[in-house]
Structure 1
Amino acid sequence: MSTRSVGRRLQEWRKRRGITRRELSDLAGVSLSLIRKLEQGERQDTRLETLRKFAAALKIPTSELIGGSASDEVTGVDTEQWSAVREALHGRPRDEVAEEPTVEGVARSLASAMPLFSSDRYPDLAVLLPPLLRDAEALGAEGRQVRARLLQHTGWLLTQTRQFDAADLALRRALDDASDRLDAAATVNTLAWLLIRQGRFTETRALAAEWADDVEPRMSRATMAELSAWGWLLVRLSAAAVRNNRPGDAEDAIRLARTAAVAMGREYSPPGDFLRAFGPLTVAMKRTENAMVEDRPDKVLAMSQNIPVRDMRPTSNNRNRHLLDVAKARVQLRQHAEAFDLLQNVRHDVPEWTANQRYARDIFWQIVSRRRTLTPDMREFADFMHLPV
């Protein structure tokens, strides 16, 4: 994000409200030195969590403080690991092949790759995706359906690994190729997640609300797929609203998402497409995430008691994000040992995913920042996350 722009906007709103830096520090629970550095352009970054605290204190949407795009993760990372994937998305010439690809062949290859997506096997996917994307593109019009699914999952992966421009390209192309409204809604769900991670909350809310209205099913005869599509869009709407300091809108949306989940009666996990998995547990975890965004650690821990994460697949990104929220809540309540144990458990289950989470880094820094010495386990964790200590 543009820090000078953020600092300038913060200063303008603070002065418009007629409060001093110290008063804003007290209202937002943010250090006076950070406010001074932001307003003077000395600080080069700040998290969306911090901007939301400022916005709540100033009684404005968080988006008013964001100049351009922003993210709760590191942005603009151009890793060499994904360069071949980006080149394939941009249509770079492919190598000569012995025979032309077929729809059936690409579909089988995508099906075999789904476990790699769901378990965050980044090195394998970085090798597999470039030729698969080129083959899917070579199918032409008859390959639209399988190409749309491949592009959506590629967009999801690139969002996960902070390749935001490439993710946007993949998802817009997937939307163009979508064969029906539920396929399109699934892609919009992933696109909304990308927009949230870029701090584009107003745009997310408008997009998710429009599509939620379009796919809202008749509850008396709704299919699981329809309820999942509708519910996910409402979850994204809620996530954008709570981050944009609109708690009432966030609660209204998550309540409707829970209506969809209750109608489903259980977690829905369609074969071969983990991105459409949805149900009561998903909504419960997203309600907990909202509570953490609102800085309610006590509520997070209370709600987490009723979420049986042990029954869920360790590779579920929703589960892992939930565990990070619980770890963050424990840090805020000064339960540092318990928080570090949670980080270690998540790392054990999904090392590639954990290494790409700035959220995990921030939690770890909060655990160790006031310690004079680190335990061997903490030093080893810092090495794993490539953090100086």
Structure 2
Amino acid sequence: MGDRLRSVRKRRGMTQQGLARESGVSVSLIRKLEQGERNDARLETVRRLAATLRVPTSRLVVDVAEEGASAAVLDTWAPVRAALTAPSGDAVALDEPPTAEGVRAALAAAVPLFSGDRFAELRVVLPALLRDSAVLAGLDPEGRALRVRLLQLTGWLLTQTRQFEAAEWCLGAALDGSADRLQGASTVNTQCWLLLRQGRLGEARALATHWADETEPRLSRAAPDELAAWGWLLLRLSAAAVRDNRPDEAEDALRLSHAAAVALGREFAPDGDFLRAFGPVTVTLKRTENAMVMDRPDVVLKLAARIPAGGLRPTSNNRNRHLLDVANAYTMTRRYAEAVETLAGVRDAAPQWLPNQRYARDILGRVVARRRTLTESMRSLADTVGLPV
């Protein structure tokens, strides 16, 4: 990365000090990157450098990944990952094999655990459910459909907890087993999110573009689930483009996604699937996210004020992620009390989700660094998100 950064900076006729001044990135970090003392940086940092140098983010570095799961997290989830690839024969009980009715009921009972970010309970129920579904997948079409649905949810969960390698395997298996285009698009939606979290911006853009083109419906006659699938793929394309310093492309994708949302006219979850919930509020949430990526806290707060409090229930998939952007915008505008209050609200809504969010740790870290003394709420949140002492 250092060689690429130095080359582009020199081509632009900028000094390290000039780049630091215009990008807001410290000159010491720029120097360390160019001298090879640091081999990587956060995606947010690289995007700022790329925007200042007027190049795509991917021109500076190919992969700028989020931090993967810690060793403690990997150990905790090891039984789930083992169950993913266990031979199907291992899932057969000693006295009776699993049944489609039993797995269907168990999966239905597990869905609220996924949507509610109840990770501790999922760690308990998932190994047996994954093994049983593997047996059924080889027996009949319904068994295969149940297996694909479970793999979609598990791939989303593994992405959420930053177990990226296992998530990639899981989502690839779900896509291979998809029965139709819309089921495949649902899996690809999560695959794009996984690529974004790994910093693989070019791959995310290409995948979202291909599938958006493949699933584009005629708005005048499209079914709601088609509009939701197409709209989400466009949102993923927009997210990849804005992070790759392609704002016009990001805005075009958002505009098309908004058209799909307008055609729907409401928030809609195909078959009650929280992962595919889409509509006008979802598009506004993602427009707010794009504004935060582009360092526009004023736009973030302006858009956030228009979103109805009851527009979406608090989920890690939608509103909670949006609230982290709001907290970050408050931090950037020195409204630290409001930032902490927002983070505390997210913790109350999703106590098992927040500790897995590196973004939340970064936000709180900036608040703590700018305060001479910490409130009890700040200290408690620091413990929740694992802020280093």
TM-score by length of 1: 0.94
Residue 100 (structure 1) aligns with: 97
Counterparts of 1:194-205 in structure 2 under 5 Å? 194-205=194-205
Contact 2:340 2:377 in 1 (8 A): no
Contact 2:209 2:237 in 1 (8 A): yes
1:100 partner letter? P
2:68 to 75, 92, 100: 75
- Pair 1:158–1:43, CA change in 2 (3 A): same
Contact 1:111 1:272 in 2 (8 A): no
Contact 1:156 1:190 in 2 (8 A): yes
Counterparts of 1:348-363 in structure 2 under 5 Å? 348-363=348-363
Residue 16 (structure 2) aligns with: 21
SS of residue in 2 equivalent to 1:179: coil
- Pair 1:53–1:75, CA change in 2 (3 A): same
Counterparts of 1:1-389 in structure 2 under 5 Å? 6-43=1-38, 45-67=40-62, 69-71=63-65, 73-75=66-68, 77-78=70-71, 79-91=74-86, 94=90, 97=93, 98-139=95-136, 140=138, 142=140, 143-389=143-389
The 10-residue stretch of structure 1 (45-54 or 260-269) with the greater mean CA deviation from structure 2:
45-54
Distance 2:310 2:18 in 1: 44
Contact 1:66 1:199 in 2 (8 A): no
Please state how far the C-alpha of 1:213 moved relative to its aligned partner: 1.0
SS of residue in 2 equivalent to 1:173: helix
The 10-residue stretch of structure 1 (278-287 or 7-16) with the greater mean CA deviation from structure 2:
7-16
Contact 2:91 2:135 in 1 (8 A): no
Contact 1:314 1:320 in 2 (8 A): yes
- Pair 1:376–1:311, CA change in 2 (3 A): same
Residue 3 (structure 1) aligns with: none
Structural RMSD (CA): 1.5
Distance 2:129 2:383 in 1: 34
Distance 1:9 1:104 in 2: 56
Which consecutive segments of 4 or more residues in structure 1 shift more than 4 A? Answer: none
Contact 2:201 2:240 in 1 (8 A): yes
Identity percentage of aligned residues: 60
SS of residue in 2 equivalent to 1:99: coil
**Unmatched 5+ stretches in structure 1:** 1-5
Contact 2:224 2:270 in 1 (8 A): no
Distance 1:29 1:18 in 2: 18
Please state how far the C-alpha of 1:220 moved relative to its aligned partner: 1.4
SS of residue in 2 equivalent to 1:267: coil
TM-score by length of 2: 0.94
Distance 1:284 1:148 in 2: 30
**Unmatched 5+ stretches in structure 2:** none
